[in-house]
Amino acid sequence: MTSKTGLLTAVHMANIASTLAATRKYALGTLYVQLHPKIKDKIRATAFGKFIARVYQSSPIELGSGVDLRFIVSTLKTNDFSPINRKIDFLFFDYTVATCETNADFSKFYNESEVVELNNKPFTLDNCDVDDSIQKSCKNVVLGGTFDRLHVGHKVLLTQAALLAEERLVVGVTDENMIKSKKLWELIMPVEQRIAEVETFLRDIDPTLKHEIVPISDPFGPTATDPNMDMIVVSTETARGGAKVNELRKKNGLNHLQVHTIELLDEELTTDDKEDKISSSNRRMDLLGTRLKPRTIGTHLRPRPYIIGLVGGVAAGKSKMAERFEKLGAGVIDCDKIAHELYLPGEHCYQAILNNFGVAVLNDDKTINRKALGAIVFSDPDKLDLLNTILWDAILERAKQRIAVLYEKENKQIIIMEAAVLLKAGWQTECHEIWTCIIPQEEAVKRLFERNGLNEQDSLKRIQAQICNSELVRQSDVVFCTAWSQEFSQLQAEKIWDTLRNELNL
């Protein structure tokens, strides 16, 4: 079902929370909010920063978490309404329309919209708890950030900057060179997409400004060289950056920027594993165990059993995640265990390994010493390719046999095929979808030392011989990360399990 778009014009600011809540029954996807431009005659635009921040922070509670709220600030700078360049389904008012003579001019932009009066109060401008101590606006305002999947914290930052800017707003968006220290950076959207989202948001809330949204590959971006800047907007978390910018500008003979600092918003509902502030990191953690891509139905595979390829780097927690799904009701095929079987004497692969790697890889009991074999292949890509050629086809064939048994004899409708090499081996064509486990490289090194006694150098050899996390994520439908508590990993598993069972009508 297509979500609806609403535009709320408000004058009763003290009641804004209940007004927002009254729009909830209209099943909105996006709600634009503006204060009537006559309010500008009483209070200057820059005084509304904290009020707008409170509106944004309360919006997930009043509207529901799925509604995209956008607070229009251009009406606080001019005497006119600014038309929104998209279809508006509902025009909401928190007063009776007949009591305000300016609504006729406003409604001409939206003559096909349904008018909804959310209460019967007359048009009277409320006194509002605003912060009139905020410094005056400036011609040119700049700010920077990652801006991954715009959340209310980003919206507050961008909206405050738009309120303070008179002519030009410059936004630096960190590119791929600057994101790798971020939590779950592999899930951060491409910089081009983040720039486009920021640009659309700013155009929505204040089309009167000149917007310059640019990628930056260092912490300073255009602030280091642009003489036409007057103010930088920072959060309490990045306040030191504002001071650093001014130190650099002084060295470069540029003017000193005013620094406007915005307090970070607290996260209302969180877990022990998350930060207690509204952040992009928390939003990316929310993506774990959810679909990153729409489910597609391949025509070359039978609908049942539904086969999921579970991949991930060494020590990423694949086996534990597979155990979780097994307890939830899935059938599980462990391709690493199949490989161990194929190493046993009497197997075709056993003899092929001896023929190619010699008796130096044998234990005293004639079984293959996997640690010795691993030391050889992880130090020589060609030998690793040779071992893969020996094993991969045999592993897949035996996995298919066991999938058939799980489905036909045990009635397992969903089967997890856990295989670290699945993508390299090209087995994704045998799966309905791909799920992956990732962990940061430093955590993988730590686990390999604790579990296998490997030193950092040997651990890195194993990690770097595998597909990197960002490529795993790119090829996956669902992503998990086991870097936090067992409880949080379980929540990730249960989230996608419930989603998939509903999709398959199981």
The model's confidence at residue 271, banded by pLDDT at 50, 70 and 90, is low
Assess contact for 214 and 221: CB atoms under 8 A: yes
The model's confidence at residue 105, banded by pLDDT at 50, 70 and 90, is low
Q: Which of 163, 169, 167, 166 is nearest to 134 (CA)?
A: 163
The model's confidence at residue 346, banded by pLDDT at 50, 70 and 90, is very high
Whether the predicted pLDDT of 1 surpasses 60: no
**Tokens encoding 358:** 């010699």
* 433-438/306-312 β-pairing: parallel
- Which DSSP category does 189 fall into? P
Write down the pLDDT at residue 471: 95
Q: Quick one: 52 exposed, middle or buried, by C-beta within 10 A (0-12, 13-18, 19+)?
A: buried
Distance CA 344, CA 368 (A): 7
Q: Which of 44, 11, 32 is nearest to 130 (CA)?
A: 44
Look-up: residue for tokens 């950092």?
456
Distance CA 167, CA 139 (A): 5
Whether the predicted pLDDT of 387 surpasses 80: yes
Whether the predicted pLDDT of 11 surpasses 60: yes
Write down the pLDDT at residue 129: 64
Assess contact for 178 and 216: CB atoms under 8 A: yes
Write down the pLDDT at residue 435: 98
Edge to edge, what strands does the sheet with 4-10 contain?
A: 68-72, 28-35, 4-10, 90-93, 114-117
* 306-312/4-10 β-pairing: unpaired
Please identify, in words, the CATH class of the domain defined by 288-503: alpha beta
Q: Tell me the pTM.
A: 0.89
Distance CA 162, CA 222 (A): 18
Whether the predicted pLDDT of 431 surpasses 90: yes
Give the other-Cβ count within 10 Å of 80's Cβ: 13
Whether the predicted pLDDT of 414 surpasses 90: yes
Write down the pLDDT at residue 463: 87
Write down the pLDDT at residue 127: 66
DSSP string spanning 447-464?
A: HHHHHH---HHHHHHHHH
Backbone angles phi, psi at 270, to 5 degrees: -145, 175
Look-up: residue for tokens 């642009």?
226
Domain 4-117 and domain 288-503 have a common topology: yes
For residue 440, cis peptide bond before it (omega within 30 degrees of 0): no
**pLDDT (mean) for 100-122:** 81
Per mean pLDDT, which range of 41-45, 116-120, 250-254 is the poorest?
41-45
**pLDDT (mean) for 53-82:** 90
Whether the predicted pLDDT of 110 surpasses 90: no
Report the largest interatomic distance among the alpha carbons of the chain, rounded to a whole angstrom: 96
The model's confidence at residue 38, banded by pLDDT at 50, 70 and 90, is confident
DSSP string spanning 120-168?
A: ---S--------TTSPPPEEEEEEEE---S--HHHHHHHHHHHHHEEEE
Distance CA 480, CA 310 (A): 10
Write down the pLDDT at residue 73: 95
Within 38-143, residue ranges assigned H as helices are: 49-63, 103-107
Query: Mean pLDDT in the chain?
Result: 91
Look-up: residue for tokens 């932009």?
109
Whether the predicted pLDDT of 257 surpasses 60: yes
Whether the predicted pLDDT of 266 surpasses 70: no
- Which DSSP category does 468 fall into? P
Give the other-Cβ count within 10 Å of 58's Cβ: 17
Within 206-259, residue ranges assigned H as helices are: 239-251
Give the other-Cβ count within 10 Å of 340's Cβ: 13
The strand pairing partners of 5, in sequence order, are 30
The model's confidence at residue 328, banded by pLDDT at 50, 70 and 90, is very high
Whether the predicted pLDDT of 267 surpasses 80: no
Distance CA 506, CA 503 (A): 8
Per mean pLDDT, which range of 220-229, 449-458, 493-502 is the poorest?
449-458
- Which amino acid type is present at position 9? T
**Structurally, what CATH architecture does the domain formed by 4-117 represent?**
3-Layer(aba) Sandwich (3.40)
- Report domain extents, the chain: 4-117, 138-262, 288-503
pLDDT digit string, tens, across residues 121-161: 898 887 666 766 666 889 999 999 999 999 999 999 999 99
Distance CA 238, CA 221 (A): 15
The strand pairing partners of 70, in sequence order, are 32
Write down the pLDDT at residue 99: 83
Look-up: residue for tokens 């508590």?
485
Whether the predicted pLDDT of 268 surpasses 80: no
Whether the predicted pLDDT of 423 surpasses 70: yes
Q: Does domain 138-262 have CATH number 3.40.50.620?
A: yes
Assess contact for 39 and 62: CB atoms under 8 A: no
- Residue 68's H or E segment, with its range, is strand 68-72
Distance CA 178, CA 222 (A): 15
> ∠ CA(3), CA(206), CA(96), 5° rounding?
65
Write down the pLDDT at residue 296: 82
Look-up: residue for tokens 């490989």?
339
Whether the predicted pLDDT of 411 surpasses 60: yes
Write down the pLDDT at residue 292: 95
Whether the predicted pLDDT of 288 surpasses 90: yes
CA 243 to chain centre: 29
Write down the pLDDT at residue 91: 93
Whether the predicted pLDDT of 200 surpasses 90: yes
Write down the pLDDT at residue 300: 84
